[in-house]
């Protein structure tokens, strides 16, 4: 069994390796490291172990890398931050990907996605995920050089095999194909199997919006959401996005997990040593928990809406919808078939299903963008309950975050994230991340 250790030690968890086909070795080693660390942490350290998927198959070593160091994530309650320039964050991530033999173009595509998430304030899907991608690439459970292939095509649709490539590589390819079709026949609907974690669902909707199209994207993910009334997870956080362009560079961009929150937000709460709000996660008995460590260790998030009393079954239904349109429709893994994924990487290909939809609004009533601007202002101009907090539209928070990053001159990363980066730089023998 692989494990995640959630602990406040100042020392990075000792790295170790998948050596000579001995995958079990890592697991034993990780367990030993966790024990040692719990002892070292003393009373400041509340260690929790999240038991993840049973490992049945040993992964292949990456011929390019040989024995690679796999670390488990060391989560601190320390929440001090450092400022990192956006370009430096991108540079660091590109270097990391290229160090595990990802071709430069693919490395840039994946890094652009991750840095955009941090820039937009979705830290759960930015550099926070880097180590997981690197570990997957290093043990060959993701193919960084893969090129997606079209399996079946009509003027408006395509079924694509992502060939186990990086999520952004598969996602960009599929959305670009959907855009091309929408520009030709009004709509493009592309389903991908054989994909990997593709980060922010909104990234792909934005790609369509840049072309004046309405964009949508959804992906299934590793099981983490308990169906309403269940003690165990059977759906992922399964995000969906809808982007609609408006005039004067305005837009509506809904980009959301169908769980109450993305799992990364539980990780972030835990890293800050902060409690979880009600309705985010369950304990092993299926009750709501406010304990971030327990919530993360249990691995059972609540659907959007929370419990049955607060209509959580609607979020459960939306999560199922995403899986039907992505996993089931694409012939990819779905529901509990999807592998578990931890910071140590995973031992098999993810085979995620994803869907990318582009629609040309000009196929319908004229002046869509003008009406969108009016629509947006009608929502934003409603009377706020708190006069100091204007009513927002989907995408506004992220825009505000980007403005704040620009004003600050960089992205504020938590100290613990920077420690993970320092450890990665050492392992991969690349230039460390610079911060102010
Ligand atoms: N690839 C994956 O496996 C995966 C899984 C889950 C989530 N994600 C991504 O994680 C990111 C975070 O997801 P999340 O659900 O935690 O997002 P969130 O809850 O922060 O925001 C969801 C949406 O609500 C909007 N919003 C936020 N506050 C608002 C307000 N006050 N008024 C109006 N609109 C508001 C945001 O603009 C956003 O569109 C997303 O980019 C999502 O795609 C990815």
Give the per-residue SS3 of 238-257.
CCEEEEEECCCCCEEEEEEC
**CATH number of the domain bearing residue 328:** 3.30.1370.60
Q: Does 408 score more than 80 pLDDT?
A: yes
Which of 363, 382, 398 represents a domain boundary (last residue)?
363
Query: Are residues 255 and 185 part of one domain?
Result: yes
Which ligand 1 atom sits closest to the C-alpha of 254? 39
The confidence score (pLDDT) of residue 38 equals 37
Residue 228 within any structural domain of the chain: yes
The confidence score (pLDDT) of residue 261 equals 87
The confidence score (pLDDT) of residue 272 equals 83
Question: Dihedrals φ, ψ of 196, to 5°?
Answer: -125, 175
The confidence score (pLDDT) of residue 207 equals 98
Of 239, 240, 261, 241, whose CA–CA distance to 312 is shortest? 261
Q: In the chain, how many domains are there?
A: 2
Rounded mean pLDDT of 414-435?
Answer: 95
- Of 405 and 36, the one with more pLDDT: 405
Residue 269 within any structural domain of the chain: no
Query: Are residues 116 and 209 part of one domain?
Result: no
Which of 346, 363, 380 represents a domain boundary (last residue)?
363
Which of 327, 346, 363 represents a domain boundary (last residue)?
363
CB of residue 244 inside a 6 A radius of ligand 1: no
Helices 167-185 and 104-119, axial angle in degrees (round to 10): 90
Instruction: Please name the helix (run of DSSP H) or strand (run of DSSP E) that holds residue 418, with its range, or none.
Output: helix 415-428
Query: Are residues 164 and 138 part of one domain?
Result: no
Q: Does 428 score more than 90 pLDDT?
A: yes
Query: Are residues 132 and 161 part of one domain?
Result: no
Residue 266 within any structural domain of the chain: no
Query: Are residues 180 and 103 part of one domain?
Result: no
Cβ-based burial of 381 (10 A; exposed 0-12, middle 13-18, buried ≥19): exposed
Residue 246 within any structural domain of the chain: yes
Q: What is the mean pLDDT of the chain?
A: 84
CA of residue 268 to ligand 1 center, whole Å: 14
Query: Are residues 248 and 200 part of one domain?
Result: yes
Q: Does 366 score more than 80 pLDDT?
A: yes
Residue 267 within any structural domain of the chain: no
Residue 393 within any structural domain of the chain: no
CA of residue 172 to ligand 1 center, whole Å: 20
207 lies in which domain range? 149-260+301-363
Query: Are residues 124 and 202 part of one domain?
Result: no
Query: Are residues 161 and 132 part of one domain?
Result: no
The confidence score (pLDDT) of residue 238 equals 97
Query: Are residues 167 and 108 part of one domain?
Result: no
**CATH number of the domain bearing residue 136:** 1.10.1530.10
Query: Are residues 56 and 28 part of one domain?
Result: yes
- Dump the DSSP string for 291-358: -HHHHHHHT-BPBTT-SGGGTHHHHHHHHHHHHIIIIIHHTS--GGGSPP-BTTB-SS---EEEEEEE
Residue 104 within any structural domain of the chain: yes
Q: Which residue has the tokens 């992502």?
A: 162
Residue 385 within any structural domain of the chain: no
DSSP alpha helices (H): ranges in 122-166? 130-138
Rounded mean pLDDT of 179-190?
Answer: 98
Rounded mean pLDDT of 38-54?
Answer: 30
The confidence score (pLDDT) of residue 344 equals 67
**Which tokens in the block code for residue 284?**
């092993």
Whether residue 215 contacts residue 183, with contact meaning beta carbons closer than 8 Å, is answered with no
The confidence score (pLDDT) of residue 342 equals 72
Q: Does 54 score more than 60 pLDDT?
A: no
**Which tokens in the block code for residue 254?**
């809904």
Whether residue 133 contacts residue 199, with contact meaning beta carbons closer than 8 Å, is answered with no
Among 240, 257, 267, which is best to mutate for testing ligand 1, by the most ligand atoms less than 8 A from CB?
257
């Amino acid at each position: 069994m692989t494990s995640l250790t959630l602990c406040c030690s100042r020392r990075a968890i000792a790295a170790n390796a998948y050596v000579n086909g001995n995958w079990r070795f890592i697991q034993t080693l990780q367990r030993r490291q966790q024990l040692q660390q719990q002892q070292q942490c003393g009373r400041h350290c509340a260690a929790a172990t999240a038991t993840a998927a049973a490992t049945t198959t040993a992964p292949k070593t990456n011929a390019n890398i040989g024995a690679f160091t796999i670390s488990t994530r060391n989560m601190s309650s320390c929440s001090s931050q450092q400022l990192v320039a956006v370009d430096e964050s991108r540079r660091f991530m590109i270097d990391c990907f290229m160090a595990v033999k990802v071709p430069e173009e693919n490395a840039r595509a994946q890094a652009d996605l991750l840095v955009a998430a941090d820039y937009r304030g979705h830290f759960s899907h930015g550099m926070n995920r880097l180590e997981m991608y690197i570990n997957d690439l290093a043990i060959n459970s993701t193919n960084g050089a893969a090129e997606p292939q079209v399996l079946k095509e009509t003027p408006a649709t395509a079924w694509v095999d992502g060939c186990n490539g990086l999520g952004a590589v598969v996602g960009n390819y599929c959305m670009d194909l959907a855009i091309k079709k929408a520009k030709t026949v009004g709509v493009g609907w592309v389903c991908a199997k054989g994909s990997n974690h593709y980060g922010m669902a909104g990234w792909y909707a934005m790609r369509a919006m840049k072309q004046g199209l309405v964009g949508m994207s959804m992906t299934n993910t590793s099981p983490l959401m308990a169906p309403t009334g269940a003690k165990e997870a059977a759906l992922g956080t399964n995000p969906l996005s809808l982007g609609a362009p408006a005039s004067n560079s305005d837009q509506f961009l809904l980009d959301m997990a169908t769980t109450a929150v993305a799992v990364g937000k539980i990780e972030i709460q835990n890293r800050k040593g902060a409690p979880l709000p009600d309705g985010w996660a369950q304990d092993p008995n299926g009750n709501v928990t406010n304990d971030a460590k327990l919530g993360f260790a249990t691995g059972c998030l609540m659907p959007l809406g929370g419990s049955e009393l607060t209509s959580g079954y609607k979020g459960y239904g939306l999560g199922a919808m995403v899986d039907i349109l992505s996993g089931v429709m694409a012939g990819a893994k779905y529901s509990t078939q999807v592998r578990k994924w931890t910071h140590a990487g995973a031992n098999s290909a993810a085979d995620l299903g994803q869907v990318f939809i582009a629609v040309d609004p000009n196929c319908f009533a004229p002046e869509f963008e003008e009406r969108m601007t009016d629509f947006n202002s009608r929502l934003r101009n409603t009377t706020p309950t708190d006069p100091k907090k204007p009513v927002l539209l989907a995408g506004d928070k992220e825009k505000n975050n980007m403005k704040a990053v620009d004003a600050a001159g960089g992205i504020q990363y938590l100290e613990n994230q920077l420690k993970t980066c320092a450890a990665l730089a050492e392992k991969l023998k690349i230039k460390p991340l610079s911060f102010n």
